[in-house]
Amino acid sequence: MSAAALAAHAGAGQYQVLADRADGTVVRCGEVVVKAHAGDGDPSALGVRIRIAGDPALAGVLLPPLRTGLGQVDGRPVSLWPYGAPVDPDHPEDAPWEAAAELLAALHRTPLRPLPTPMPPMRGPAKLARALHRLATAYPDPDPERATGPAAAPGAGGSAGSRPGRDRDAVRLVRSVWAAAGTLPGWARGEGVQPEGGVLCHGDLHLGQLVRIAGPAGWQWRLIDVDDLGLGAPAWDLARPAAWYAAGLLDPPTWLRFLDAYRAAGGPAAGPPGSDPWPELDVAARALTVQTAALALAKAAREERRLDDVERLMVEACVRIAALPADLELLAPS
């Protein structure tokens, strides 16, 4: 996708590339952001998602588009947005966990009836299915007996020229990710329809999906990126921080700040204040763990390197999930 063509679509000559991936190219032109969405998606569903983002009922939750209609550049759907300041990755201590939780709670409480229809499903399970497909492509025959090469575990460090796809231990970890995926109900892996009911969900919540904009009351946070927005289980939007907490990547005080803020704001997932959140969060948290680990292994194999510290922790979490009792009662949302 040509970044210059996207800038021209916005009527600008100068631009800054913010992201350039297969699922989206984003450029900034002054105070306007242009996004080229994935070309293999459902354009009608994307159109509904863009219109939902522009609905007045969500003005305090989602960053509204500059136009509720989609354009097209080089055969891909394109949308226009105001620029918002992202979370500063160099200052994790200032991460807006409470703001993220409050925005999610407001999103999940939004009445569905006035919103544009037909409401598409939240695409979280579809993203897990895509991650597993990438893992299968990177490791088409995950059999340790067929593996060759050094048996060193693919942890942090190691030789940049090592080939994780040929390490017996790396293949063992791949098998653990598949086993962890097998503990999930089919709908969580993108197989079949999601459970009935549900609320309006973001579908891909992480801190990179928040930006600050200037408002009458000062700087305010808003959620961005509605490509996965839709009807689904609200626990999915809490799954990534829950998975990070379970894997040891998010410290307990930060996790509790996020969880307590969500509950205090009336969020419908995770149970009432003071209760155990895991009966509601378990399936979604395991699903995000599997998704993250699958992408980590696939990326490491493609780049012919070993897993970094963060990736290793998520893969090791899958090893623990895979060791759960076979008769585990899946706590899927009803």
Same structural domain for residues 22 and 116? Answer: no
The SS3 call for residue 283 is helix
Task: Please check the confidence at residue 179 and state whether its pLDDT lies above 70.
Answer: yes
Q: Give 61-114 pLDDT, tens digit per residue.
A: 999 999 999 999 999 999 999 999 999 989 988 899 999 999 999 999 999 999
The SS3 call for residue 44 is helix
pLDDT value for 145: 52
pLDDT value for 36: 96
Mean pLDDT of the chain: 89
Same structural domain for residues 169 and 237? Answer: yes
Question: Taking a C-beta distance cutoff of 8 angstroms, is the pair 230, 115 a contact?
Answer: no
* Type and span of the H or E element at 71: strand 71-73
Same structural domain for residues 156 and 192? Answer: yes
| CA distance linking residue 222 with residue 182, whole number of Å | 35
Same structural domain for residues 109 and 94? Answer: yes
Q: How confident is the model at residue 326 (pLDDT cuts 50, 70, 90)?
A: low
In one-letter notation, the amino acid at residue 320 is R
CATH number of the domain encompassing residue 217? 3.90.1200.10
| CA distance linking residue 59 with residue 96, whole number of Å | 19
Q: How confident is the model at residue 328 (pLDDT cuts 50, 70, 90)?
A: low
Q: How confident is the model at residue 151 (pLDDT cuts 50, 70, 90)?
A: very low
Task: Please check the confidence at residue 158 and state whether its pLDDT lies above 60.
Answer: no
Same structural domain for residues 299 and 216? Answer: yes
Q: What's the domain count of the chain? A: 2
Tell me how crowded residue 102 is: count the other CB atoms within 10 A of its CB: 20
Flag the least confident range among 149-153, 157-161, 164-168, 204-208.
Answer: 149-153
pLDDT value for 217: 80
Residue 258 vs residues 168, 204, 219, 250, 261: alpha-carbon distances, Å: 39, 16, 20, 11, 5
Task: Please check the confidence at residue 298 and state whether its pLDDT lies above 90.
Answer: yes
| CA distance linking residue 20 with residue 17, whole number of Å | 7
User: Beta strands of 134-255 (E only): which ranges?
Assistant: 199-201, 210-215, 218-223, 230-232
Same structural domain for residues 202 and 319? Answer: yes
Same structural domain for residues 98 and 1? Answer: no
pLDDT value for 83: 97
Range of the structural domain that residue 12 is part of:
1-82
Q: How confident is the model at residue 41 (pLDDT cuts 50, 70, 90)?
A: confident
Flag the least confident range among 196-205, 279-288, 314-323, 324-333.
Answer: 324-333
The side-by-side arrangement of strands in the sheet containing 218-223 is 85-86, 210-215, 218-223
Least Cα distance to 230 among 63, 331, 118 occurs for: 118
pLDDT value for 160: 35
Q: At a CB cut-off of 8 Å and minimum separation 6, what does 233 contact?
A: 122, 194, 195, 198, 201, 269, 284, 333
pLDDT value for 175: 94
Tell me how crowded residue 134 is: count the other CB atoms within 10 A of its CB: 17
Domain boundary among the residues 82, 113, 148 is at: 82
| CA distance linking residue 86 with residue 65, whole number of Å | 16
Q: At a CB cut-off of 8 Å and minimum separation 6, what does 64 contact?
A: 53, 54, 58, 82
Same structural domain for residues 164 and 43? Answer: no
| CA distance linking residue 45 with residue 229, whole number of Å | 10
In the chain, the percentage of residues whose pLDDT exceeds 70 is 89
Burial class (CB in 10 A: 0-12, 13-18, 19+), 136: middle
Domain boundary among the residues 25, 56, 82 is at: 82
pLDDT value for 255: 97
Over residues 230-250, mean pLDDT? 97
CATH number of the domain encompassing residue 15? 3.30.200.20
- DSSP per residue over 196-215, as a string? S--EEE-SS--GGGEEEEEE
Same structural domain for residues 25 and 141? Answer: no
Helices and strands (DSSP H and E) totals, the chain? 9, 10
Same structural domain for residues 19 and 92? Answer: no
Question: Is the peptide bond preceding residue 120 cis, with omega within 30 degrees of 0?
Answer: no
Tell me how crowded residue 228 is: count the other CB atoms within 10 A of its CB: 24
Domain boundary among the residues 49, 82, 115 is at: 82
Same structural domain for residues 74 and 90? Answer: no
Same structural domain for residues 33 and 136? Answer: no
Encode burial over 40-52: b for 16+ CB neighbours within 10 A, e otherwise.
Answer: ebeeebbbbbbbb
Flag the least confident range among 104-108, 113-117, 326-330.
Answer: 326-330
